[in-house]
Amino acid sequence: MNKIPLIMDVDTGTDDAIAIICALMSTEVLDIKAFTAVAGNVGVDLTSRNTLNIVDYLGFDIPVAVGAAKPLNKELHTAISHGRAGLGDVTVPKSNRSFYGKDAADTIYEHAARMQGELEIVAVGPLTNIAEAIIRYPDIVHLIKRITIMGGALRGGNMTAASEFNLYVDPDAGKIVFESGIPLVMVGLDVTLKPQLPLAVVETVKRLDNKFAGLAARIFDFMLRRCEQYGFDPPNVHDAIALASLVVPGLVTLNQYAVTVETEGTVTRGMTVADFNNVTGKEPNVSAAVDIDCNRFWDWMTGKFLSAERD
Ligand code: RIB
Ligand code: CA
């Protein structure tokens, strides 16, 4: 079977790190061309550094490109829940490798042009890099097969009552991407809040002796302590769910909606507004995830770690 040519756009971050680990354990189906980093959970100096360190630590020489240091128009909002450096209190050996010689937007275009319509993107941070690529290279909208986005929500939010963090941070970029015409899969809070990290998964991962599991165990441990400290619900691995929706057929249930992004609202900034009743007359532009098989997700993730143990 042909592998999926992929770029992951990340704001690494703890759940981004879990998604990266899962992607690097899925190279039997993924041909990862590059990782591109964006400011979001923490500054882009840290999201890019965290990404390069993780990719190198796990033994891969996949290019990591540095992207936008701030949203297109708004000021940057970061997230305290990932700690000051973005990976909580988890440290990863510092890579000696250089970042890729192009920035994120140029890197995305390079591979989109080379793959001539076959490139897929999993975007799990604010959409600034993707929007920048569209602004710089308008023809790119015909060269990207699909973007799977961890972001938005059909109902509710986690940054405000109306908006999810990634879309809240850069709603202008979100609007550009959602209106680009590129096929979109929106894996929003509607599904990413459902799978809550089971202690059985943590215990299984802790017992394993491979680098993928060792790093994930330390990140899970931080996530669990963070929840106890702040009283949050059990950890949600939002970004890993978006990645899994690409490599596990049928994991999520998708509905088609016309969705646009609110860019100016005071109460609704970053809201992904779905036209449930077809009042706008707009054609659907998004396949939005409305349900997920939680057990299948955790079984898939556990299976990946167990396979890594055997390799
Ligand atoms: O709302 C969750 C999203 O915001 C995740 O991508 C997390 O990493 C943060 O970026
Ligand atoms: Ca993220």
In the chain (311 residues long), the average pLDDT of successive 10-residue segments reads 96 98 98 98 98 98 98 94 92 98 98 97 98 98 98 97 98 98 98 96 97 98 90 86 97 98 95 97 98 98 94 77
Catalytic residues: 238
**CA 219 – CA 263 distance, rounded (Å):** 33
Q: Is the CB of 166 under 6 A from ligand 1?
A: yes
Compute φ and ψ for 234, nearest 5 degrees: -55, 150
Nearest to 144 by CA among 161, 165, 122: 122
Q: Is the CB of 126 under 6 A from ligand 1?
A: no
The residues spanned by each domain of the chain are: 4-310
Q: Is the CB of 164 under 6 A from ligand 1?
A: yes
**CA 194 – CA 298 distance, rounded (Å):** 12
* Of 14, 41, 50, best ligand 1 pocket probe by most atoms within 8 Å of the beta carbon: 41
SS3 213: helix
What sign does the CA torsion over 221, 70, 180, 137 have? negative
Nearest to 222 by CA among 94, 123, 84: 84
State the DSSP string of 249-268. Answer: TTSEEEEEE-EEE-SS-SSS
Nearest to 105 by CA among 176, 41, 53: 176
Q: Are 298 and 201 in contact (CB under 8 A)?
A: yes
First to last CA, the chain: 21
Residue 168 makes CB contacts below 8 A (sequence gap 6+) with 77, 157, 159, 160, 269, 270
* Of 80, 166, 191, 272, best ligand 1 pocket probe by most atoms within 8 Å of the beta carbon: 166
Nearest to 201 by CA among 81, 295, 91: 295
Cα 49-51-53 angle, rounded to 5 deg: 65
Q: Is the CB of 165 under 6 A from ligand 1?
A: yes
Give the global pTM: 0.98
Which ligand 1 atom is the nearest neighbour of the CA of 79? 9
Distances (CA, A) of 309 to 101, 111, 205, 230, 296: 34, 32, 10, 33, 20
Residue 208 makes CB contacts below 8 A (sequence gap 6+) with 214, 217, 305, 306, 308, 309
State the DSSP string of 272-310. Answer: EEE-TT--S-PPP-EEEEEEE-HHHHHHHHHHHHHHHHH
125: CA distance to ligand 1 center in Å? Answer: 6
Q: Whose CA is nearest to atom 10 of ligand 1?
A: 125
81: CA distance to ligand 1 center in Å? Answer: 10
Q: Which ligand neighbours the alpha carbon of 51 most closely?
A: 2
* Of 50, 239, 241, 271, best ligand 1 pocket probe by most atoms within 8 Å of the beta carbon: 239
Instruction: Look at residue 234 in the predicted model and tell me its pLDDT.
Output: 76
Which ligand 1 atom is the nearest neighbour of the CA of 16? 8
* Tokens matching residue 56: 């190198």
11: CA distance to ligand 2 center in Å? Answer: 5
Instruction: Look at residue 77 in the predicted model and tell me its pLDDT.
Output: 94
Q: Are 226 and 88 in contact (CB under 8 A)?
A: yes
Which ligand 1 atom is the nearest neighbour of the CA of 239? 6
156: CA distance to ligand 2 center in Å? Answer: 18
Instruction: Look at residue 97 in the predicted model and tell me its pLDDT.
Output: 97
**E strand map for the chain:** 4-10, 30-37, 64-66, 119-123, 144-150, 184-187, 252-257, 259-261, 272-274, 286-292
Which ligand 1 atom is the nearest neighbour of the CA of 150? 6
CATH class of the 4-310 domain in this structure = alpha beta
